[in-house]
Every structure is written in structure tokens, then in C-alpha cells.
Amino acid sequence: MNIGETAKASGVSAKMIRHYEQTGLIKPAKRSRSNYRVYGSTDVEMLRFLKQARRLGFSIEQIATVLELWQNRSRPRGEVERLIGKHIEELDCRIRDTTAMKESVQNLAAHCSGDSRPECPILDGLSESRQKH
């Protein structure tokens, strides 16, 4: 398959496939005589794996580790479990941070009557937040 067909089959854009190759996340594709990238079903499977890992919020560094573990069929399950446990902790932290941001924004919005006056408690609140940091 060429890169366009591989992108379609995997759900990963051709641009991202090239990016993953450039960053070393995946090995560069084999090349045809005319120097086009050539991919196989194993490549599509790996790209689908990468797409799912990204969808689940893993960083590129974490994906590299997960990918190594996925490809190493003799790896102990405990390594995978530890990595997933750490990722869950990071997700919990992000959820707490996002919830706090949402509550702050809701608090700002609650102080706005939405009328035609130029004074804006939302903008004032944002300005106060900036001055505190």
C-alpha cells in the first residue's frame, strides 16, 4: 500500500504517518523503485495502535514505551500495568485541573448579567487572575 491507502486503512493521516517516521516513533517505510513509501498490514495495525493510544491521551514518549511493550511479546505484564497505572494517575490530575478551571470560568460567568454596559466582571476577573501570578 502507498501512504494514502495506508492512511485510509489506519485512520491516521499521511502527514501524521510522516511525522511518526521523522520523530522515530515508527521505522521509515520501505521504498519502491520509484522511491514511494510502501506499507503492509503490519504497518496499518501499528498505526491503528498508535491512533488508539493517542486517543487515550498518551504522550508521544509514553506511546514509544507502550509500542515497545506491545511489540515485545516476552515482556512481563507488570510493566504494562505499571505504565497504565501511572497514566491513570496523570489523567486523574488532568481531570482535577480541568474541573478547577471549569469552576473558575463558571464563577466568572455567574457574575455577568450580560447587559449592554461596558464594564465586564468576566474581563475584570481575568485581569485580577493575571495580576496574582
**Which residues span the domain enclosing 38?**
1-75
Joined grid coordinates for residue 78: 507488570
CATH code for position 49: 1.10.1660.10
| Whole-number pLDDT of residue 116 | 78
62 and 94 in a single domain? The answer is no
pLDDT of 75 higher than 90: no
| Whole-number pLDDT of residue 85 | 95
Q: How many other CB atoms are there within 10 angstroms of residue 43's CB atom?
A: 20
91 and 51 in a single domain? The answer is no
Domain end residue (candidates: 48, 75, 102): 75
| Whole-number pLDDT of residue 42 | 93
Count of domains forming the chain? 2
* 40-49 pLDDT tens trace: 999 999 999 9
pLDDT of 95 higher than 80: yes
* 46-60 pLDDT tens trace: 999 999 999 999 999
Determine if the pTM surpasses 0.85. no
Q: What is the DSSP-derived secondary structure letter of residue 118?
A: S
Bridge partners, 30 (sequence order):
38
